[in-house]
Amino acid sequence: MAAWTRSSFTVFRRLLTQQHRCRCFRMQQVACLWPAQPLAVACGRGPKTLSSRSFHTGTVSGGPVIQFKLSDIGEGIMEVTVKEWYVKEGDRVSQFDSICEVQSDKASVTITSRYDGIIRKLYYEVDATALVGKPLVDIETESSSEVIQEEDVVETPAMAHEEHTHQEIKGQKTQATPAVRRLAMENNIKLSEVVGTGRDGRILKEDILSYLANQTGAILPPAPAPAPPAAAPGTPAAAPKAPPTSPKPVFTGKDVTEPLKGFHKAMVKTMTAALKIPHFGYCDEVDLSRLVALRRDLKGAAEARGVKLSYMPFFMKAASLGLLHFPILNACVDQDCQNITYKASHNIGVAMDSAQGLLVPNVKNVQLLSVFQLAQELNRLQALGAAGQLGSADLSGGTFTLSNIGSIGGTYAKPVILPPEVAIGALGKIQILPRFDAGGQVVRAHIMNVSWSADHRIIDGATMCRFSNLWKEYLENPASMVLDLK
C-alpha cells in the first residue's frame, strides 16, 4: 500500500514539474514578443498604453457554402421564370424564409430556404429563366449548424410536408410566422389553402384554428360591409358632390414588345396542341326553371353552413352522372391517337377568369361528392384563384371541363378542348324568356344555352347528343338526380 502511494506521489510530482516548465517556456516566448517600450495611441485625452488584450486576435470561420438548387416541381416542368427576389446578397435567412417567387406554365411557386445562413450569390435576375436542377442561390450556412446535402427529389402534390416547407404554391408571398407554419405542419394543413386575415394577407394562428374547426376546407365568405347610417329626419341633405375629373389620356406613341411567360405561355402550348383535334360542335337549350326554384330553397341552408351555393355544383353533378353512362367522354387518347384510356375518376375542371389569365382548376372525384361538397370545393378554388394561390395539384389531372362563360356574358360559344381531354362544355347566361308549357300556355322560363365540343376522332355526334340529352334531363328535373346519387 505504501509502495502504491509512493509511486503515485512520484508520478504526480513529475506532472507538476512538466506543467511548470511549459508555463515558463510560454512566458519566455511572450517576453520575446513584448516590445521594449510601451506602445502609445494618440487620442483626444492623451496617450494610453495598449493592454495585452490587443495582441489576442481571432478569425471567425463561416460554414460551408451550399448551392441551393431549384427542385423539380412536377408536371414535367423543366424551367421557370423568376418573378421576384425576396432576398439579396448578404442577407441572413432562416429555414422556411421565402427566397424568391418563380412562375411556371402551371402555377406560381414560392421557394423557401432549407438552411440557416447568409445569401452569398443569386444566380438569376428578375424575369430570367431558371432551370430545374440548377443552382438558384448560394447559402453560407452557420458553422455550428449541421448541414445535410440533399439530392433533388421529385415530390408529388400529395406530399404535404414538401408543400409546407420548401415550395409553397401561390401567386404571392405567403406571410406567416414560424409558429403558425409549425402549427400548420403538425395538423397537415397546406398554407396555400388557408386565407389569411392579417395585414397584407398574413396567416394568423386564428386562421389555422378556424380551418381546423371546419375540418372540411370550406372558406367562409367575407362579411358584408356595414350599411351607412341613415340621416336624421331633420338633418338637411348634403349638397351633391361634383363628379371627379379624370385626367386626360396621354398617348405615348410607343409599342411594347415582351415575351410570353407563365400562364400565357402555357395557353399557347395548350391551344396549339388543341388545333390538331378535329372538333365536333353541338348546341342545345335547357329550361332551368325547376333548378332555379330548388337552388332558391337550398341557398339559405348552404349559407348557414358557410358555403355559397351556385348553379355550378348542380351542373357538375349532372355531368358526372351522365359520364357514368357515357364513359368515353371521360377518356383521353395518346399523342398518336392509337390508344384510349377510360378514366375512373371524374375530375371535372371549371374555367376560371383570374388576374393571371385563364385558369382551369378541377374538382377531384366528383362522382363521390355531394352537391354540398362540390360547392365547398368550388368555394375553396375560387378563393385561391382570386388570391393567385392555385397550386399545380388543383390545375392538373382534369378529365372533363365545363366553362361557365355565361357568368360574364354571352349565350353560345365554341369551346376548345383541353388536351388530353376529349370533351368540353360551355354554359351561357341564364335568361328569362317566354316558352310554352305542357298546356300550351305562355310562361316565364329560365333558359340557358349549352355548347359542347368533342374530339371527333373517337366521339361521334350521336354519343354527344345522347349525353347532352341526359344531362339536360337531370337539370330540367332535378328530382330525377336523387335516383342516381351515390
In a domain, 40, yes or no: no
Residue type, 224: P
Give dist(CA 238, CA 259) in Å, integer: 52
C-alpha cell at 436: 310554352
**End residue of a domain, out of 92, 124, 141:** 141
Q: Which residues contact 404 (CB under 8 A, 6 or more apart)?
A: 312, 315, 350, 351, 427
> Is 401 part of a structural domain of the chain?
yes
Same domain flag for 136 and 284: no
Q: Catalytic pick from 264, 279, 446, 456?
A: 456
Considering only CA atoms, which of 368, 371, 362, 364 is closest in space to residue 315?
A: 371
Q: What is the Cα–Cα distance from 464 to 412, expressed in whole angstroms? A: 17
- Nearest-CA neighbor of 210 among 193, 224, 227? 193
Q: Which residues contact 53 (CB under 8 A, 6 or more apart)?
A: none
Element (H, E) at 348: strand 348-350
CATH classification at residue 78: 2.40.50.100
Q: Which of 141, 161, 193 is the last residue of a domain?
A: 141
Choose, from 91, 152, 334, 460, the residue flagged as catalytic.
460
Q: What is the pLDDT of residue 237?
A: 57
C-alpha pair distances (Å), 50 with each of 30, 33, 35, 39:
15, 14, 11, 6
The CATH code of the domain that includes 385 is 3.30.559.10
Domain total in the chain: 2
pLDDT of residue 398: 94
Cell of 418: 383541353
Give the CA angle between residues 359, 363, 367 to the nearest 5°.
150
84, 101 in Cβ contact below 8 A?
yes
456 in catalytic set? yes
How many residues belong to the chain? 486
CA atoms within a 13 Å half-sphere pointing along the CA-CB vector of 342: 6
Amino acid 429: pLDDT:
95
- Give the separation between CA 359 and CA 398, rounded to whole angstroms: 12
- Same domain as 300, residue 449: yes
Domain of residue 363 covers 278-484
What's residue 381's pLDDT?
94
**Whole-angstrom distance, CA of residue 484 vs CA of residue 323:** 12
For the beta carbon of residue 458, count every other beta carbon within 10 angstroms.
16
Neighbours of 331 (CB within 10 A): 21
Residue 328 confidence (pLDDT) = 97
What pLDDT digit, counting tens, does each position of 449-472 carry? 999 999 999 999 999 999 999 999
State which H helix or E strand residue 353 sits in: strand 352-354
Whether 164 is catalytic: no
> Could you report how far apart the first and last alpha carbons of the chain are, in Å?
93
The DSSP symbol for 139 reads E
* Contact present, 444 and 271 (Cβ < 8 Å): no
Radius of gyration, alpha carbons of the chain: 34
What pLDDT was estimated at residue 342?
A: 96
Q: How far apart are CA 278 and CA 367, in angstroms?
A: 28
Rounded to whole angstroms, how far apart are CA atoms 419 and 349?
12
Q: From start to end of 70-199, where are the E strands?
A: 79-85, 92-93, 98-103, 108-112, 117-122, 129-131, 135-141, 167-169
Nearest Cα residue to 32 out of 50, 55, 53, 58: 55
Is 362 a member of any domain?
Answer: yes
Contact of 208 with 194, CB cutoff 8 Å:
yes
Rounded CA gap, 252 and 235, in Å? 49
What dihedral do alpha carbons 378, 261, 275, 74 form, nearest 10°? -60
Render 415-435 in DSSP notation, one character per residue: ----TT--EEEEEEEEEEEEE
Residue 31 in domain: no
Kindly state the DSSP code that residue 406 receives in the 8-state scheme. Answer: G
Answer yes or no: is 474 within a domain: yes
18 domain-assigned: no
pLDDT score recorded for residue 414: 93
The arrangement of strands across the sheet holding 279-287 comes to: 279-287, 442-455, 423-436, 400-403, 348-350, 362-363
Domain boundary residue, one of 73, 106, 141: 141
Distance (Å, rounded) from C-alpha 405 to C-alpha 393?
24
User: 188 lies in a domain?
Assistant: no
301 in a domain, yes or no? yes
Query: What is the number of other CB atoms lying within 10 angstroms of the CB of residue 185?
Result: 17
Which residues of the chain fall below pLDDT 70?
1-62, 73-76, 106, 143-174, 178-179, 199-200, 213-242, 486
